[in-house]
Amino acid sequence: MALRMLERLLFASRWLLIPFYVALVVCLALLVGKAGQDVFVFLMAFATATKADIILAALALVDVTLTGSLIVVVIFSGYANFVARIDATSHADWPEWMARIDFAGLKLKLLSSIVAISGIQLLEGFMDVAHLSDRDLAWYVGIHLTFVFSGFMLAWTDKMSEAKEH
């Protein structure tokens, strides 16, 4: 009896994740606002912008877009994996992969996005190399390589665990 009640409590506790997903939606909206603000500021300065300024602005927008996409992946995949199923049939434009992504896939997508974001930060640093110290650039490269190595290790361990299951 007590064990059954504990199991019900633990199972119901998954709904406590909802505020986190709502907070991520708020962060996504704030990110959209910040991206709009950045585009507006850049458009106002476009007449005096150099080619490097345009490339940096585009990279910053790609960075924000990847971060937003990462947030969406975490919201939908996390909700579907940990809280409740989503009826994809009622959404005609539902991305097919979202219904199939499991926790291992979510981890890989998450780390892949982080590697891409880190790579863009590194590229932005290289575009502005005249204003960065060698130490800062070394940190950028080191952090990026750490993410890349972590991604390879995560993919390898997932592949190894799949091989053991079959």
Question: Can you give the pTM of this predicted structure?
Answer: 0.75
**Are the C-beta atoms of 55 and 11 separated by less than 8 Å?**
no
- pLDDT (tens digit per residue) in 115-142: 888 988 888 888 878 888 889 989 999 9
- pLDDT (tens digit per residue) in 52-100: 888 888 888 988 998 898 898 888 888 887 888 777 777 778 777 666 6
**Are the C-beta atoms of 76 and 86 separated by less than 8 Å?**
yes
Token duo for residue 57: 């602005």
Give the C-alpha separation, 42 to 166, whole Å.
53
